[in-house]
Amino acid sequence: MFEDAAPIAADWFWETDPAGRFSHFSPEIERFFGRPVAALLGAERSAFAWEAGEEGLGRYRMALAECRAFRGLTYRYRHPDGVPRWFEISGRPRYSPAGDFLGYRGVGSDVSDQHRTRDALVRAHAEITEQNRRFDAALENMSQGLCLFDADHRLLVWNRRYLEIFGLEPGALDVGMSQRAIIALLVASGRYRVGATVDSVSEGTRTSLTGDGPTSILRELADGRVVAAIHRPMPGGGWVATFEDVTERRRNEARIMHMARHDGLTDLPNRTALREIGTERIGAARDGSRSGLAVLCLDLDRFKPVNDSFGHAVGDGLLKAVAERLRVQVRAGDTVARLGGDEFAVLSAIGDAEDAAALAQRLIRSISAPYQLSGITVEIGMSVGIALADLGEGDPESGRDPGIGYDIERLLKEADMALYEAKAGGRGTVRLFEPQMDETARERLGLERELREALQADRFELHYQPLVDLACDRITGVEALVRWRHPERGLVSPATFIPLAEETGLILPLGGWVLRQACRDAAGWPEGISVAVNVSPIQLRHRGFAQSVVAALGESGLAAERLELEITESVLLDDTEANLETLHTLRRLGVRISMDDFGTGYSSISYLRRFPFDKIKIDRSFVRDCAGSRDAGAIIRAIVGLGASLGITTLVEGVETEPQLATVRAEGAQEVQGYLFSPPRPFAEIAAMLAAQTIPAREPVGTTLAA
């Protein structure tokens, strides 16, 4: 019955009646359509959920209209399970023997698989096209240049950036060009640094390709740019080369490297660089090139006052000028470094103490000449500590091998210790390191630690020494003198620890304590008794000092008129303006200001004109031999006279004997202080003494203070 339906491979058969309604389906249709045959029969074609493309439908309608056969029409069918299927049908009209049109008959087959495969292919093609587009976009927009070579070293792919980096015209390269030909092109057009040949450049690529992973080589171009080329071998042979212009990055790296090793202000090597250079020099000397090495640590004198009074711009200018002078003074091969602040160092190939000292003196002379900085003339000085490493011959005495046992760290430390001693010795001093300085430094460190602990543990106490008015032989005031009650050493003298406290800054908390304690103690004494407190230049220089005095007075309730501050002339030597201002402020409050240790400095007398002191305390060195020497007596007389003319009270310190007292009295001093009347005494004793207003028996009383 369906014999003429062949040769189309058929999954099912179908028939329609003359009206186009389905009149027969073979049972296989049920599996494809997912519906029973009974549900399909009798329906018109349009009742089925199948669709064909425009073109297919047209062909079909035409065939039907003309009662012709049709073949291979494809439909999409919405299967009840939701998964779309495709089928293809063919059919032809059938006629009765009498020639009447009976409808169509045909076959159908499931072509879903073919359809899906075709769809997938179409999608894949679209994806590949898109991928290529993206690849091209990526290639052209890369910040790096790129070339792809095959196993025969022939160019397959390159991008615009590559052409740009190497200054090539857009049409300069062709697919299939050999890598050597490209290099030859670049060499011929003078792209590479002078001296590069086709062979040398090719060799670079070759060696960088022999590694397993990607390796980078730097190409220096004639115009100064540096290009990093990375070659990555590819699995099937050939390689990808990427090129990056790293000129800027390399410049930044170099700058950062420089900054890490140089001082930003003077551009001198910094401490890190000095260590490296020193280590290198010592190493080189060990390897046989003899000659010694001297390390000079330099510290500017009076830099701080310049910086404070003229501002940082002048301070910076000064440091730069100093750096320049030092640079000029040293020999080629020597190193000048800035260690920080106003500290510099010089490394010089000198093995001899005399030569090193001569260099130090030369540097000091050069630094001490006046500077002209933005219309201001400033003068500073310099102190120098020297450490020597005799790298050449070794030391027969200690059996030390040449250079062995020296490292730059140690030399710097030694030079620093020598510098410390130099500064203690006064301005412009040069000191050579000696082993015993090490010991001193260690002791100092120990003492500093103990001093901190003592502050924490309240181990300080105040003793008071009476100041006696010679007109009435009465105590008019006392001087507070600090002592340190040390667990092992007993009472320690301020002469031992005040300098260290000043150096370490501990004088600030310590001095603050002394001030508050003295005011508290004095507040309980009779009205007419004042208290004198010693003030270190460091305290006075510290901003907020006046405020701390006001606070101490406020807390204790002591009247400002009963407080005397003793300063030494070094206060007027340093940053004068700010200090003078503080002193004026305090004096306006009613606090009295005394000049202590008068006569021990260089220009004591000139300082008397700079500030209206209330009292001059003549140093005890003048008293010591005033009874015997006419000169000392004459000096006391002159100072007393000067004081009187300026309206300043004069006090003579350190009166120990009756003859001294007689002389001092004869010279006209108004007040005295000394063991003859009383040594400094603890609070309880002095309080009793003041209450009774008794001046103890006049006889020398020794005090024992640990040094």
Residues that bind ligand C2E (CB under 6 A): 465, 481-482, 493-495, 498, 511, 514, 534-536, 566, 596-597, 620, 653-656, 673-675, 680
Question: Can you spell out the DSSP letters for 179-218?
Answer: HHHHHHHHHHTT-BPTT--HHHHHHHHHHHHHSSS-EEEE
574 residue type, one letter: D
Which of 301, 653 has the CB closer to ligand C2E? Answer: 653
Which of 418, 478 has the CB closer to Mg ion? Answer: 478
Q: What distance in Å separates the CA atoms of residue 111 and residue 540, rounded to the nearest whole number?
A: 104
Output the smallest distance, CB 502 to ligand C2E, in A.
8
The reply to whether 301 sits near Mg ion by the rule CB under 5 A is no
User: Binding partner of residue 671 among ligand C2E, Mg ion, none, CB under 5 to 8 Å per kind?
Assistant: none
Binding residues for Mg ion, rule CB under 5 A, total 5
Phi then psi for residue 458, to 5 deg, are 60, 45
Q: Which of 118, 108, 116 minimizes the C-alpha distance to 50? A: 108
Contact positions with Mg ion (CB under 5 A) in 82-141: none
Residues 6+ away with beta carbon under 8 Å from 148: 155, 156, 157, 158, 238, 239, 240, 241
Output the smallest distance, CB 531 to Mg ion, in A.
12
User: Binding partner of residue 667 among Mg ion, ligand C2E, none, CB under 5 to 8 Å per kind?
Assistant: none
Output the smallest distance, CB 591 to Mg ion, in A.
15
Going by DSSP bridges, is the β-strand pair 335-340/293-301 parallel, antiparallel, or unpaired?
A: unpaired
Q: What distance in Å separates the CA atoms of residue 90 and residue 87, rounded to the nearest whole number?
A: 10
Output the smallest distance, CB 680 to Mg ion, in A.
11
User: Binding partner of residue 529 among ligand C2E, Mg ion, none, CB under 5 to 8 Å per kind?
Assistant: none
Q: What distance in Å separates the CA atoms of residue 484 and residue 447, rounded to the nearest whole number?
A: 12
User: Binding partner of residue 103 among ligand C2E, Mg ion, none, CB under 5 to 8 Å per kind?
Assistant: none
Q: Is 582 exposed, middle or buried (0-12, 13-18, 19+ CB in 10 A)?
A: buried
Output the smallest distance, CB 451 to Mg ion, in A.
20
The reply to whether 534 sits near Mg ion by the rule CB under 5 A is yes
Q: What distance in Å separates the CA atoms of residue 25 and residue 17, rounded to the nearest whole number?
A: 12
Output the smallest distance, CB 678 to ligand C2E, in A.
9
Q: Identify which range of 376-384, 505-513, 547-555, 597-605 contacts Mg ion by CB under 5 A.
A: 597-605
Residues 6+ away with beta carbon under 8 Å from 535: 511, 515, 545, 565, 566, 567, 571
Which of 431, 620 has the CB closer to ligand C2E? Answer: 620
User: Binding partner of residue 88 among ligand C2E, Mg ion, none, CB under 5 to 8 Å per kind?
Assistant: none
Which of 351, 494 has the CB closer to ligand C2E? Answer: 494
User: Binding partner of residue 493 among Mg ion, ligand C2E, none, CB under 5 to 8 Å per kind?
Assistant: ligand C2E
Which of 383, 534 has the CB closer to ligand C2E? Answer: 534
CA distances from 680 to 137, 368, 483 (A): 93, 43, 10
Residues 6+ away with beta carbon under 8 Å from 173: 155, 158, 163, 182
Output the smallest distance, CB 278 to ligand C2E, in A.
39
What stretches of 26-95 adopt beta strand conformation (E)? 50-51, 70-78, 84-95
The reply to whether 604 sits near Mg ion by the rule CB under 5 A is no
Q: Identify which range of 52-60, 278-286, 367-375, 647-655 contacts Mg ion by CB under 5 A.
A: 647-655
Which of 353, 500 has the CB closer to ligand C2E? Answer: 500
The reply to whether 596 sits near Mg ion by the rule CB under 5 A is yes
Output the smallest distance, CB 497 to Mg ion, in A.
15
Output the smallest distance, CB 671 to ligand C2E, in A.
13
User: Binding partner of residue 175 among Mg ion, ligand C2E, none, CB under 5 to 8 Å per kind?
Assistant: none
The C-alpha R_g of the chain, in whole angstroms, comes to 52
Which of 342, 479 has the CB closer to Mg ion? Answer: 479
Q: Is 354 exposed, middle or buried (0-12, 13-18, 19+ CB in 10 A)?
A: exposed
**Conformational region of residue 693, where left means phi above 0, alpha means psi within -120 to 50, and beta covers everything else:** left
Q: Identify which range of 90-98, 604-612, 627-635, 652-660 contacts Mg ion by CB under 5 A.
A: 652-660
The reply to whether 465 sits near Mg ion by the rule CB under 5 A is no
Output the smallest distance, CB 615 to ligand C2E, in A.
12
Going by DSSP bridges, is the β-strand pair 84-95/101-110 parallel, antiparallel, or unpaired?
A: antiparallel
Which of 159, 534 has the CB closer to ligand C2E? Answer: 534
Output the smallest distance, CB 518 to ligand C2E, in A.
8
Going by DSSP bridges, is the β-strand pair 226-233/381-389 parallel, antiparallel, or unpaired?
A: unpaired
Q: What distance in Å separates the CA atoms of residue 142 and residue 99, rounded to the nearest whole number?
A: 76
Tokens at residue 208, please? 């960088």
Residues 608 and 641 sit within 8 Å (Cβ to Cβ): no
Which of 597, 667 has the CB closer to Mg ion? Answer: 597
The reply to whether 650 sits near Mg ion by the rule CB under 5 A is no
Question: CA 195: distance to chain centroid?
Answer: 42
Which of 348, 568 has the CB closer to Mg ion? Answer: 568
Around 78, how many Cα atoms within 13 Å sit in the side-chain half-sphere? 6
The reply to whether 597 sits near Mg ion by the rule CB under 5 A is yes
Which of 450, 656 has the CB closer to ligand C2E? Answer: 656
What stretches of 581-686 adopt beta strand conformation (E)? 592-598, 615-618, 649-652, 671-672, 681-682
Cis peptide preceding 466, ω within 30 of 0 = no
First and final C-alpha spacing in the chain? 137
CA distances from 706 to 480, 495, 654 (A): 18, 10, 19
Output the smallest distance, CB 663 to ligand C2E, in A.
14
Output the smallest distance, CB 582 to ligand C2E, in A.
15
Which of 301, 653 has the CB closer to Mg ion? Answer: 653
The reply to whether 566 sits near Mg ion by the rule CB under 5 A is yes
Output the smallest distance, CB 455 to ligand C2E, in A.
13
User: Binding partner of residue 522 among ligand C2E, Mg ion, none, CB under 5 to 8 Å per kind?
Assistant: none
Give the chain's largest Cα–Cα span.
Answer: 174
Which of 88, 566 has the CB closer to ligand C2E? Answer: 566
User: Binding partner of residue 498 among Mg ion, ligand C2E, none, CB under 5 to 8 Å per kind?
Assistant: ligand C2E
Which of 176, 682 has the CB closer to Mg ion? Answer: 682
Using CB under 5 A, list all residues that contact Mg ion.
534, 566, 596-597, 653
